[in-house]
Amino acid sequence: MKRFLTIIASISLLVFLSTPAFSQQIRDSYKLGGNLPDFNTLKECGYVFSGNIRYYITDTTVLASQNGIDSRRVDTLIVMSKFAYKKKTYFTTGLKEDAFYQCFNLHTVFLPDSFTSIAPGAFWDCYSLTSVNIPSFCETIGASAFRRTKLTSFVGNEGLQEIHGMAFFECHRLEYVELPSTLRGIGARAISHCDDLRTVHVHFSEPIPIDE
């Protein structure tokens, strides 16, 4: 009976994620200036949670990550840019390392523009991931951040400086890559074993270091 109820709850959540109301919620709350969820309790281990995402709060950062094993069944995630806790506004500053590792059903992610980096292993082995927005102010993409996903293209924003090792390793569906003029370094095998890759468009004129 308990297992049956868990299955029903999971189905209900997936139906909710596909509704127009949730789509509007995505547009409203993942951007700066969206509605502020107000959390009243902080867990003992230092996080608050909303839906399938935990927000770990320290004195200087707020890092998002998956909220337990059930997160791996969700297909769409939205990371809030900010929220309220005890009348104080907190801004989400990034993702924890391996934040959504092996979320196998995840295919769409919305990240706030305030992020300046994508954490190492953030979406590693998210086999179904086909859509994620790279924040406008992103400067660094961590090692194995999108390793073994189904992304078909990557367009690096102007301001991106580093792509670390294996960031797009074994992204077999990746067809198009565009690298900005601000890029200063590419890690070992960052864009490697991408079977469908046909086009790499670069905007820099001088050679940049590529780790072996």
Q: What is the pTM (predicted TM-score) of this model?
A: 0.77
> Cα(90)–Cα(82) distance, rounded to whole angstroms?
5
Q: Is the pLDDT of residue 12 over 50?
A: no
Q: Is the pLDDT of residue 51 over 60?
A: yes
Contacts of 194 (CB under 8 A, 6+ apart): 168, 170, 171, 172, 174
Contact 31, 64 (CB under 8 A): no
Query: pLDDT-based confidence at 14, cuts 50/70/90?
Result: very low
Q: Is 8 helix (H, G, I), strand (E, B) or coil?
A: helix
